[in-house]
Chain A
């Protein structure tokens, strides 16, 4: 009996750490951006969702029939409109600037439908090529999927930062926060309009050799206890550890990492010292979004878990709580917080109180805010007045 309880405990611990490693990957993005900008990027969870879709397009192929092109046109038209308004702000007294912008955006509106069709066609060709490459073996497929998810999400992170957050930098934190919520809603609802609301699932297990690599269940013997884990999830955990180590190296040992730490410490002073703060901020978004994209692909593409365009909401919220729990702005804290969240959630799920599984995240958040507002590894700082 005791053996069985212990076995259950270890099995749940393994389940929890696996889930926690994904929370940790997302939490890193929250914490890095907060560290540098003192700003919570609520669209971060949705970047994770996009990562899952990109991996799917590589593994299953990208079919234009599955993309609602009219919806794509409407979504992009709205984005362009907002862009036009933002770019006109501050230029209204200069007729030449207004004329140029109106002409430019007008042309873009006119060409939008053609551009979208071309985009979808290129997407089909590109992903068609990638899919046929991925079909050669599961290792190639996995590598290509990771690269596409990471690359696309990194680019998306920078695009979001440059177009949505940079123009309003310096207008106050509340503006930035609300803009982030707006970007989040755009990605969720725009994504639903374009990709459809259907629940999706895929796995690189469907590629040649995939069944052995990620599909099979691994039965381990840990200290005489029989533990079963999905091979895919072991790879998720290992990849998460590798990615986090890589990130730690970048932040602690490279010039760019040093610049990031300097900007986090004091942005104005860093700028005076000759650091290009705009580049550093974009790089922060790039790294954070790349991690989220990797998390999105790893958690879905290796496990056949189901996802849709709203998947990023709950994962984002829980990862955010994980970042706060560990001490927002602190990388090690984000990883620790993610693992604690994953383990706590799994143990509640396996208890008679399984219906309170999601509530635990927010109970933890409240407890942390009450007893240790700076988080487990966070430092208390005196607010300068």
Chain B
């Protein structure tokens, strides 16, 4: 008797679940763009962190891809066919990145994949693209291992060794500093390798590393490590992490009385940096892919297109520009192939040469990395100010 009652209850629960779930599912479908690959459209997939610890990166990149698709479709698309984006959210989680790419390839049957920003997530998804022979273009994963996953994996940004070299060179030659401390996120390949490459270059240039420490991305209190760094009294403090941690680290470093400027990489590039840092990072420097106040025409027209779509008071970051360039390079390659399939698209992407992108002139080298220059920016009054361009050696 009791069992039957329970049975009825679970049956009812299941029914209710179905009702509510179908209610939830119907909403995004009706709000979506509707229609799949109907023969007139070319499907391109993206997998980005649109929530989680690097949410701002994913959202910025998505905006760049959207602008690029708008520009391409307005100009007649790819030989008459429009490009349509299938976007997946990785929630800053490597396992979800792998699932998202599998879904894009096997379910949505996209011809190319754009993503991820964080190197750790690109590394999780790249082998899947490689084994399915679908080209993947990472807009901004700078870790060297990403494109080593296979010949279908490309990127439009420079790589960490170069970025670390630029920062080390800037610290030694422009700032004339001799001692440095390094503070890295131990769970992030980006941060760790940036730190070790910086160390190699800085020491080769005659500098000295006086202290090294590590943190974890989920940390909020960095005082233990910073107290140790303070006693080493470095000229500069390298923090090659992501904006969320860098802001807190800068704030707490100043509270403990560390006055040395902080140095970092493109992981700093977000206005959210100032949510935690406030004015603590004034006068610090970081390397980046582009500067919004760069006078180059490609940069100017991109900034104008961005402001037309998202509002005149908004400023695109480097990640938006890289998302834009990644999509543009894929579109250029598509225009050059007769039948769009994985292998032929891959071959054309590898031939990309001298493309004048927003983030510099892009040429794919034999390792499928973009050969291009980097810029150094300084933080002044909560703005990123262009300091110098450093070309590849």
Contact = CB atoms under 8 A, between A and B. Distances in A.
Q: Do A and B come from one complex?
A: yes
Interface of A: 4, 8, 11-12, 15-16, 19, 70, 74, 77-78, 81, 84-85, 88-89, 92-93, 192, 196-201, 217, 228, 230, 299, 304-308, 310-311, 313-314, 345-352, 354-355, 357-358
Given A19-B221, A197-B52, A308-B53, 13 more contacts: A8-B227, A70-B27, A77-B20, A81-B20, A89-B9, A192-B51, A197-B55, A198-B56, A199-B275, A228-B257, A306-B245, A350-B227, A351-B228
13 contacts: A8-B227, A8-B231, A81-B20, A217-B255, A230-B255, A304-B278, A305-B220, A305-B276, A306-B220, A346-B224, A354-B215, A355-B214, A357-B224
Given A81-B16, A192-B51, A199 B278 contact: no
A224 to B, nearest CB: 17
Nearest to A218: B255
Contacts of B388: none
Interface residues of B, number: 46
B248 interface: yes
A92 B224 contact: no
A317 to B, nearest CB: 11
B251 interface: yes
A228 B223 CA distance: 11
Contact of B257 (A8, A88, A217, A348): A217
A93 B23 CA distance: 29
A306 B27 CA distance: 33
B341 to A, nearest CB: 36
Interface string B218-234: 11111111011001000
Contacts, number: 118
Contacts of A350: 224-225, 227-228
B41 interface: no
Contacts of B55: 196-198
A119 to B, nearest CB: 20
A306 B248 contact: yes
A16 B53 contact: no
B5 A93 contact: yes
Contacts of B272: 198-199
A306 B247 contact: yes
B312 interface: no
A192 B20 CA distance: 20
B12 interface: yes
Contacts of B278: 304
Contact of A88 (B9, B216, B256): B9
A89 B186 CA distance: 49
A230 B252 CA distance: 9
B13 interface: yes
A197 B216 CA distance: 18
B220 A307 contact: yes
Given A88-B9, A217-B257, A347 B224 contact: yes
Contacts of A314: 218
A84 B16 contact: yes
A304 B215 contact: no
A305 B221 contact: yes
Contacts of A88: 9, 12
Nearest to A105: B16
A112 B257 CA distance: 52
A16 B213 CA distance: 17
B270 to A, nearest CB: 10
Contacts of A352: 212
B8 interface: yes
A163 B46 CA distance: 41
A307 B56 CA distance: 15
B75 interface: no
A214 B165 CA distance: 40
Nearest to A310: B218
Nearest to B24: A74
